[in-house]
Structure 1
């Protein structure tokens, strides 16, 4: 069989790519038990506003030499009317340990491989009391990954889904009856609808990528994408305006960064790239020169501190790569964020010796990986509630899932008219990266009141350059309806038992517990 085209180079590395951490602390990993089906029920967003209760059940997750195949069933316990399209994000599988991401194979018309739409438009007939059976194809997930988290049903994150190793996938459905019952006036006699199966052919494409995380403090921030980590020192603690010489305090911070780099950089590729940036004030040529001078100054301190342990590359990028939008109401703070020096490197897979926690904000580079969260369809008890403009927000305990924590909330429209809640990034921390404040849950962050570290909603960054929040989109809320949505954040250290949730227009909700 010819394997479909998909850039699978990202799959070659090991499953644990997070620096400065070990999996699960001293705990033993939970047993991986196959207990199919894994079922979620809840209200989903539809493009027509006919938001019905849906039952979504994963009945199998098989790994062959060529693909990963997901089998699932969908039905609507309360009935379903008309032609609707689920507005959930594409089905996405995530390895919560490494942060690798896989999406379904699609063809040139963006139609999914697997169960074939009898209308050839991606839509399927739905009848009351009848279960639709589907299968979808994903790239072959590496053998060291035993469990994945699935998002994209519209019903939150389904954690701890085990992968079954098989020589061959399940046979195609015999005599699929879906095409014979396209009309609502022609319901089937059977309890289920099945459809023809179309495996990926030569030229099929699948999105592969990584979870990208962002942790911020007053001193520094860290962005992590795959096995590449970037520490950014904010300019207000490194340089005076229009200067390339470090302040005395800033030099101490850079020396602290050197210790972090010593513990984190991959010894196989011991290259540290020091990158200087400026804000948008001044000419392009002037900013280019200033950014290069700042990067060279910082490199000198690193060389003095680390001696010949690493190789260095120096780059100046002027004002060409801003992380915050200038010219808005927070212009001064945005410009300060853009005037920065970054350290980019490939992370080590080794676990460094434990070191004392510092209070200088460089804890942003600390990584903690727990075991994958076991499957559950119970978010727990409500631990905080807030209301804004006719929408009630209920917050449930955070759950650790590998290197991340899953934040689960429900939104209830308490009015008698449809409402689109304001959950964007307007209330986010000023000056943060625009991409991490975008999307319908962009105004949400997790704050550790002890360290003042801020954890933003993670991003799914795909090979084609597209980036999307690791969260379900929120659409129009129908009257008296309740919707469960999730957002995924980089996980804090294991000794952190609760965090404050910054919930955009709903304000700050304190003491949200974390379940391990």
Structure 2
């Protein structure tokens, strides 16, 4: 991975003499990006360019920015150019500097927020795919983000608006990140981290108060929001990856692991008597614990929501005790064991609709959780900046039903790629009509969670299935995942939305995977770039 200093030297060497090329596959597809000439042989990655200084701005060297075009939405879709600069590291916080240009012909509010149109909360996230951490924007005591305040401003066509957004302080040895955006431009991988200089804040002149005085082609800055109280979101969130086999699921973060043993396989029906397969399964679990776990083991029995609550509670306790006994026989007294049963009170997934049976099967489990001993992390590197996606490798049409409303859609699958310790699944989904999409409801919900929770990735060589990566703990309000935050930014017929989501990466020797795309079916031999 190239250090930021080398990238900046390349930018100084080339100045602003970049050949900019705007690629648009369709009027909707987000993978459009600015492509540059020069530095491709060891300098700047494709898609980077130097930013022209606006009149009245600082005379310091122009920063390198990484640019794509895409759409915000879905309430009032706006096509924008989104340019991301290096993440600036300061003692008490870090700063993301980015630029938004309205590419439509009308003044508009590009909505960079997730779930609801709340422009006080921009849904940009910093992802460390090597260290397994996510950083959310800092908020003050009122819940308002620290940084630029664009709420009262219409973005005029062709005007470039500078934003700054504050994030938690970053480790000193972190030299690159991925920026997740709530737009069809998606993920900005390989964004360098550099030490900040001076006082963090806007570098462009303030936007004129009268919108008509804002000149197309110029760069202006928004005023900064004054924060109150101690910042919230100051701690990073662990990335939690999901892997599954037919006998267990594993949620793994950088510091701990939670193994969910499927009781349908481990026990005979409605009892705590171990099945014939249980011995081999528990042998494997004990070996994993011996290799990686700290001394404290928590064993929790769960049931689904069928049957009497009192019976479920008793059954969950007896099953947890049975697993504890078997693990202790294998591991001995060098570990601390704690077993309990909670019955149906803590489901892994809320049963709902067509996926209710699968959800209940997941809820019938015994969880073994533990902290991980310090280990040398597996080798992983940040993906370089991806200005554009690879070519379509497979397509299929399907009728997608959302609350009884069906629309014909086509998925175009692109090559997947690795970003640190994760695999990025990439695809476009086109509404073939004849009606607009009914979203903003999620069409691809599933038990894995996230915007594409019904999609998974399978490694055919091992039989391991990979699900969506979660950002931190589950939340009753909104659990975050490494995905766009929406499935549809554009809802009209004959428009396309780019989708992506992160899963744990398969072994390095795996060069292709099987993609289970929910209602679109299964695609074999999807290449990994």
**Contact 2:303/2:344 (8 A) holds in 1:** yes
- Identify which range, 494-503 or 332-341, moves more after superposition: 332-341
Q: Deviation of residue 380 (structure 1)? A: 1.5
Q: CA 1:395–1:80 in structure 2 vs 1: closer, same or farther (change >3 Å)? A: farther
Q: CA 1:390–1:87 in structure 2 vs 1: closer, same or farther (change >3 Å)? A: farther
Structure 2: gaps of 5 or more residues: 8-43, 45-62, 115-121, 399-406
**Contact 1:69/1:169 (8 A) holds in 2:** no
Q: Deviation of residue 297 (structure 1)? A: 1.5
1:116 counterpart residue number:
149
2:419 counterpart residue number:
401
For residues 181-204 of structure 1, what are the alpha-carbon distances to aligned partners after superposition, in whole Å with 9 as ceiling and x for unaligned?
A: 33xx44437712222234644333
Aligned equivalents of 1:219, 1:275: Cα separation in 2: 16
Aligned residue for 2:320, secondary structure, equals helix
Residues 1:508 and 2:522 aligned together: yes
1:316 counterpart residue number:
341
**Contact 1:214/1:221 (8 A) holds in 2:** yes
For residues 116-161 of structure 1, what are the alpha-carbon distances to aligned partners after superposition, in whole Å with 9 as ceiling and x for unaligned?
A: 33xxxx2433122211111111110122322111002511111111
Residues 1:40 and 2:67 aligned together: yes
**Contact 2:422/2:504 (8 A) holds in 1:** yes
For normalisation by structure 2, the TM-score amounts to: 0.78
Q: Deviation of residue 63 (structure 1)? A: 0.5
Residues 1:145 and 2:185 aligned together: no
Structure 1: gaps of 5 or more residues: 1-28, 352-366, 429-433
| Equivalent of 2:313 in 288, 297, 319 | 288
**Contact 1:116/1:196 (8 A) holds in 2:** yes
Aligned residue for 2:273, secondary structure, equals coil
Q: Deviation of residue 73 (structure 1)? A: 0.9
Q: How does 1:185-224 map to 2 (within 5 A)?
A: 185-188=212-215, 191-198=218-225, 200-206=227-233, 208-224=236-252
For residues 442-467 of structure 1, what are the alpha-carbon distances to aligned partners after superposition, in whole Å with 9 as ceiling and x for unaligned?
A: 22111222332221122223597641
2:207 counterpart residue number:
177
1:376 counterpart residue number:
386
1:238 counterpart residue number:
266
2:88 counterpart residue number:
62
1:303 counterpart residue number:
328
For normalisation by structure 1, the TM-score amounts to: 0.80
2:189 counterpart residue number:
159
Residues 1:474 and 2:487 aligned together: yes
CA RMSD of aligned residues (A): 2.8
Q: Deviation of residue 51 (structure 1)? A: 3.6
Q: Deviation of residue 368 (structure 1)? A: 5.9
Aligned equivalents of 1:302, 1:326: Cα separation in 2: 30
Q: Deviation of residue 387 (structure 1)? A: 2.0
Aligned equivalents of 1:153, 1:326: Cα separation in 2: 28
Aligned residues: 453
Aligned residue for 2:72, secondary structure, equals coil
